[in-house]
Amino acid sequence: MKKYFLTALLFTLLFPSVSFSQEQVTPAPAIIQKERAPNRIESGLYIKLGPSFPMGIYATGQKLTDNSPKDHPYYFPATMGGAMDMGYLIYIGPAFANNHLRAGIDATFISFSFNSIKSDTITGSKTKYWYYFVGQKFGPVISVCPVDRLVIDISYKMNAYAAYVHHWIRGKEDDEWGMNLTQNEISTTIRYSIMLFSFQYNFGQVAYNDFDGAKPIHYVDNTTFRILIGFKF
């Protein structure tokens, strides 16, 4: 009897500890989260400048006609000139895809460009006969940061500008003013830290008529390809 009593007592003392050990749940392995890349795509001011190369008939010269049979103006071929952009990258919302992509607006507040005129008949100061353009450009931009501080911006912008040229028109040497509110531009900019290189294809036509609705409009192609360097702060 004593033997059975000791066996029961031992069983009573050991059973709870055995049960408790069996009920212990093995902890799940810790989930290792991938470290989020730092956000290198930030809003900021930029300035770019470099050469502007005329393309197509803007580089070969244009003879235009309008409703007046006596008025057949010839616009001299354009040669290499220069361009300058000053603007701001405005990003909307946070970066996504682990901080590798971000969308925003590319706002160029001041866009100035010129192209010299190619002609053997010009005498005196040749800068007097350059094509001049000044305006603003706005449009969407998508920026990609593939690695480190390297950022690639791809944008499409609408360019609104005023234009000026001095040449022979309407039978005399004269100034002529024009404008375009819907010029197009496709650009790619490669940035590293604050340095940048930009490639722009700017295409469209300027409407010359001295801002006078009574005068005929001369649509002159002024397509250019630009290679700009600069800084983004």
Question: Which range (68-82, 100-114, 164-178, 218-232) has the least confidence?
Answer: 68-82
Whether 74 shows a pLDDT value over 90: the answer reads: no
Whether 1 shows a pLDDT value over 70: the answer reads: no
For residues 144 and 155, the answer to whether their CB atoms sit within 8 Å is no
Of how many residues is the chain composed? 233
Residue 32, number of CB atoms within 10 A of its CB: 6
Model pLDDT, residue 168: 72
Model pLDDT, residue 4: 52
Whether 179 shows a pLDDT value over 70: the answer reads: yes
For residues 91 and 102, the answer to whether their CB atoms sit within 8 Å is yes
Whether 103 shows a pLDDT value over 50: the answer reads: yes
Q: What are phi and psi of 193, to 5 degrees?
A: 60, -120
CA gap 92, 187 in Å, rounded? 19
CA gap 90, 68 in Å, rounded? 47
For residues 141 and 104, the answer to whether their CB atoms sit within 8 Å is yes
For residues 101 and 144, the answer to whether their CB atoms sit within 8 Å is yes
Whether 225 shows a pLDDT value over 90: the answer reads: yes
DSSP code at position 55? -
Between residues 202 and 29, which one has the greater pLDDT? Answer: 202
**DSSP-based three-state secondary structure for 68:** coil
pLDDT in tens, 38-49: 788 999 999 999
Angle (CA) 189-193-197 rounded to 5° is: 25
Question: Which range (1-5, 34-38, 141-145) has the least confidence?
Answer: 1-5
Token representation of residue 185: 């531009």
Pick from 76, 34, 46: nearest CA to 200 = 46
Model pLDDT, residue 162: 98
Mean of the per-residue pLDDT values for the chain?
A: 85
